[in-house]
Structure 1
Amino acid sequence: MAIKAWITEQGFEWLGVVFDAPRSSVHFAYRPLECDHITIKSCPVAIVENQQQREDAVARRLAAAGGHPNVVRFHGAYESGALLHQLLEYCHAGDLFTILMQSPNQRFSQQRAWTYFVQIARAIKFLHDCDIAHRDVSLENVLLSDDGQCKLCDFGLSSTTTQRSNERVGKLIYMAPEVLAGDSYDPVKADVWSLGVVLFIMLTGAAPVSEASAVCPAFRILCTHGCRILESWRMLDVCSTSMQLLLSRLLQPDPALRLDSMDAILQKVRWMSRCRREPSVSSFSG
């Protein structure tokens, strides 16, 4: 059955296609009974079966914890033939990567990047507090609502926070060095690295490294000079000194020296705001 026909059969009003690829597609729809809009992500069951089990487990745990304004709401999943349809919160503005690429100079202002960064950090903290490590934090996995709220999504690669692993998961440019190396790693600290990459890209429009390994010249520079790589790019005017210091603690190649939790990151955020070094962001406890 075609996806549009399945959506109509559920009593929903089909509104359009976001994208349609051989392995997955995303559609928008309206649910008359609930009076809300939703996103429907459809994939072949054979491809996503294991990931869907994780998605379902994470959805139940997050719902039991009361949800979070910066985490996308999961409305359920349904199988139809060979397809699995996931019903998700409607975020009309799309994902942050696409929005960034459409922005002037393909980067955000420091204030805008800072606002998004804090929201994403809050979302990851909520997951970690629920004993969930995301393991695929990226701009592509953050949606933006019409009111400007970031919504972290896609939990199919998640694990518990205490589950050390040597799985190479996530997108290459966001992978922490220890993940890429295949070492046994702490997934919480891997999320911290990925969040640092997200912030770096929002500020500069480019990833700090193509991959976090010795074969990448930019990574060797990062290991030697830290985030002074910004100076070589002549990007210091878009990144304050305090922001550079924060990036250096997030993008620390040695996980033992990296900021070790979202609590530690948000504590830095509070300190930076009190010192008036960054735009003020209220309610940091979320």
Structure 2
Amino acid sequence: PMDIATSESFLWKYQSLKFCQAGASGTVFQAKCIITNKTCALKVVKLKNKRDTDRFVLETTIAKTLSPCRHIVTTKDSHISNNSGVLVMELMRNDLLNSLQSFKSEKSIKTIFHQISQGLEYCHSLKIAHLDIKPENILTDSQGNAFLCDFGSAQSFSDPVDPIFGTSFYRAPETYKSTTFDKAAADIWSMGILLFVLFTGVYPYPGETEEEVIESIDEGALCLDELHLIECSPSARELIQQLLALDPAARPTIFTVIGHKFLQINDRS
């Protein structure tokens, strides 16, 4: 017996549950929908109090709103019962964290980053910030296409900031100091860290251990030296530096990023 939801009208639709992974934002199971006979993913979130429930309802609303985008994971159904919330999503068997090593060429990085940018462009066009962009929250299909997922930290641009969000390695420095920061610019910073990691395999912070890196983040000690030790085009280097501008107002919007020279598919520079 699994602690999912006890509402029979919801659960009878799903069978062959198999554990996939557990994380801070919930536990994911593989299931099969009896009605469609298709596999799907069930994300189960424990709801300990009203705050958890409100957060889950917001996540569900946002995930369903963003589902039409081809580079965002489709959310098909949801349910709340017995101190648990369940999101039913299309099943993806891999994430970007597990395949970081496979991006050897600039062309492959350009392709995946363009797809992730299209997902974020859709979010920002609807005035929704993701606020937890990182490799674990980008799923990939069997063809290697990218899909933004996990909207457990996502918020409308206009909503007050929830103090508990994001992942320290990818969080913009201004988000530690204020609750009135530009959420779109904070997402752009995370995209900059992601692109830097795709090219270099390391974080743009000094430190040999995780503790030292976190200390560097706390001190705002950004270090882009690694960019000059690897082979990458001038346009890639320029975009990373723009995304990681310490002044949020100096960062490009996602709409400008999409049009950047680096992401033009035929660009060789």
Q: Which residue of 2 aligns with 1:19?
A: 21
2:84 maps to amino acid: L
1:264 matched to 2:243? no
Aligned to 2:249, what secondary structure does the other structure show?
coil
Structure 1 contact 166–185 (Cα < 8 Å) conserved: no
1:265 maps to amino acid: V
Evaluate the alpha carbon distance shift between residue 86 and residue 273 of structure 1 in structure 2; reply closer, same or farther with a 3 A threshold: closer
Shift of 1:272: 4.6
Evaluate the alpha carbon distance shift between residue 182 and residue 276 of structure 1 in structure 2; reply closer, same or farther with a 3 A threshold: same
Q: Which residue of 2 aligns with 1:191?
A: 187
Instruction: Out of 162-171 and 172-181, give the one that drifted further.
Output: 162-171
Structure 2 contact 42–89 (Cα < 8 Å) conserved: yes
Task: Provide Cα deviations, 1:24-47, integer angstroms capped at 9, x if missing partner.
Answer: 421111213213211111121226
Give the Cα separation in 1 of the matches to 2:182 and 2:173.
Answer: 12
Give the Cα separation in 2 of the matches to 1:97 and 1:46.
Answer: 29
Shift of 1:175: 0.7
Matches within 5 A, 1:182-261: 182=178, 184-209=180-205, 210-211=213-214, 215-216=218-219, 219-222=220-223, 227-231=224-228, 234=229, 236-237=230-231, 239-259=232-252, 261=253
Matches within 5 A, 1:36-75: 36-46=38-48, 48-63=52-67, 67-75=68-76
Task: Provide Cα deviations, 1:47-104, integer angstroms capped at 9, x if missing partner.
Answer: 64232121122134335xxx11100111122234232221111112x2211222xx36
Q: Which residue of 2 aligns with 1:282?
A: none
Q: Which residue of 2 aligns with 1:95?
A: 95
Give the Cα separation in 2 of the matches to 1:44 and 1:115.
Answer: 36
1:2 matched to 2:6? no
1:54 maps to amino acid: L
Give the Cα separation in 1 of the matches to 2:134 and 2:24.
Answer: 22
Structure 1 contact 166–182 (Cα < 8 Å) conserved: no
Evaluate the alpha carbon distance shift between residue 221 and residue 215 of structure 1 in structure 2; reply closer, same or farther with a 3 A threshold: same
Q: Which residue of 2 aligns with 1:280?
A: none
* Aligned sequence identity (%): 24
Aligned to 1:85, what secondary structure does the other structure show?
strand
The correspondence for 1:160, drawn from 156, 163, 168, is 156
Q: Which residue of 1 aligns with 2:87?
A: 86
Structure 2 contact 79–87 (Cα < 8 Å) conserved: yes
Structure 2 contact 119–148 (Cα < 8 Å) conserved: yes
Evaluate the alpha carbon distance shift between residue 179 and residue 212 of structure 1 in structure 2; reply closer, same or farther with a 3 A threshold: farther
1:124 maps to amino acid: L
Evaluate the alpha carbon distance shift between residue 213 and residue 168 of structure 1 in structure 2; reply closer, same or farther with a 3 A threshold: farther
Structure 1 contact 174–193 (Cα < 8 Å) conserved: yes
1:143 matched to 2:139? yes
Structure 1 contact 168–180 (Cα < 8 Å) conserved: no
Q: Which residue of 2 aligns with 1:170?
A: 166
TM-score scaled by length of structure 1: 0.79
How many pairs align? 258
Q: Which residue of 2 aligns with 1:76?
A: 77
Structure 1 contact 40–86 (Cα < 8 Å) conserved: yes
Runs of 4+ residues deviating >6 angstroms: 4-8
Shift of 1:211: 4.8
Aligned to 1:256, what secondary structure does the other structure show?
helix
Give the Cα separation in 1 of the matches to 2:161 and 2:59.
Answer: 19
Please give the root-mean-square deviation of Cα atoms over the aligned residues, in Å.
2.9
TM-score scaled by length of structure 2: 0.84
1:158 maps to amino acid: A
Give the Cα separation in 1 of the matches to 2:4 and 2:160.
Answer: 41
Give the Cα separation in 2 of the matches to 1:201 and 1:161.
Answer: 27
Aligned to 2:184, what secondary structure does the other structure show?
helix
